[in-house]
Homo-oligomer: A and B are copies of this chain.
Amino acid sequence: MILTHDAILRLDTRQRAALINSLSGFKSLNLIGSISSSKITNLAIFNSVFHLGANPPLMGFIIRPDSVDRHTLQNILDTGYYTINHINELIHIKAHQTAARYPSDVSEFNAVDLTPEFIHSFIAPFVRESSIKIALKFKERIDVALNGTSIIIGEIQELYFPEECWKEDGYLDIEKAGTIAGSSLDGYHRTSIINRYSYAKPDKKLEIIK
């Protein structure tokens, strides 16, 4: 079926949000951990974390400054550090619940029963129940004038992941680690690998990477 620009704008607000959020395809699902200057830990689910570059190792995510995300943004700006933690099936319901609008003196770790984990001297909390955890240093905030969102960019400081999921060529088998995928605003999906393929070149047949 066809939806024109006008038909999209005529949709009910929540219908439109659900539809437009479906259109990019499957999404990463991560919990972002941070801590306020008064030492209250914060945890929030994000489905917008993306790869920005490998050298330097940079990751980005989208934030709506006027939303429930505002504690995450404020903490990152105040302390300069945060963590990104992959969501797996065992914790996905708790992860979804972190999106609730808790008062600022409540830690979502307590509210949803996930465990804050402090590693070495890194100031921001990791999620103990997550198997892939990334420590980041805030680098840049880009405000998008078109709709008032911000893109937050950070540089990877340290990585924690299950050794048996790391392949010699550098590929980290996130499916084996239990990471799941998201759709729209509220869909959670397991994955099942089809294949990996060799680097594409003109006139060369692709090979399956075992």
Residues of chain A at the chain B interface (Cβ within 8 Å): 1-5, 8-9, 11-30, 47-59, 62, 84, 86-87, 89, 92-93, 96-102, 106, 111, 132, 134, 139-140, 142, 144-147, 149, 151, 153, 155-163, 166-167, 169-175, 179-202, 204, 206, 209
Of the residues B183, B190, B193, contact of A188 by C-beta under 8 Å: B193
Instruction: Known contacts A22-B172, A51-B24; decide if A192 and B190 are in contact (CB<8 Å).
Output: yes
In the complex, the count of this chain's copies comes to 2
| Nearest-Cβ distance from residue A163 to partner chain B, whole angstroms | 4
Contacting residues, chain B, for A24 (C-beta < 8 A): 28, 30, 49-51, 59
Contacting residues, chain B, for A181 (C-beta < 8 A): 25-26, 181, 189, 191
Of the residues B12, B99, B156, contact of A8 by C-beta under 8 Å: B156
Do B54 and A16 touch across chains, with their CB atoms under 8 A apart?
Answer: yes
Instruction: Known contacts A170-B14, A194-B188; decide if A156 and B98 are in contact (CB<8 Å).
Output: no
Of the residues B2, B151, B195, contact of A158 by C-beta under 8 Å: B2
Q: Show 6 residue pairs from A and B whose CB-CB distance is below 8 angstroms, ordered by the A residue.
A: A13-B54, A14-B169, A20-B156, A22-B171, A25-B27, A25-B30
Instruction: Known contacts A171-B184, A186-B197; decide if A62 and B50 are in contact (CB<8 Å).
Output: yes
Contacting residues, chain B, for A198 (C-beta < 8 A): 186
Of the residues B52, B161, B183, B197, contact of A62 by C-beta under 8 Å: B52
Do A200 and B97 touch across chains, with their CB atoms under 8 A apart?
Answer: yes
Of the residues B48, B58, B184, B185, contact of A146 by C-beta under 8 Å: B58
Instruction: Known contacts A20-B57, A59-B23, A200-B97; decide if A144 and B52 are in contact (CB<8 Å).
Output: yes
**CA–CA, A20 and B58, complex, Å:** 8
Minimal Cβ-Cβ distance residue in B for A106? B202
**CA–CA, A144 and B152, complex, Å:** 11
Instruction: Known contacts A19-B172, A21-B54, A26-B179; decide if A196 and B187 are in contact (CB<8 Å).
Output: yes
Do B25 and A179 touch across chains, with their CB atoms under 8 A apart?
Answer: yes
Do A202 and B101 touch across chains, with their CB atoms under 8 A apart?
Answer: yes
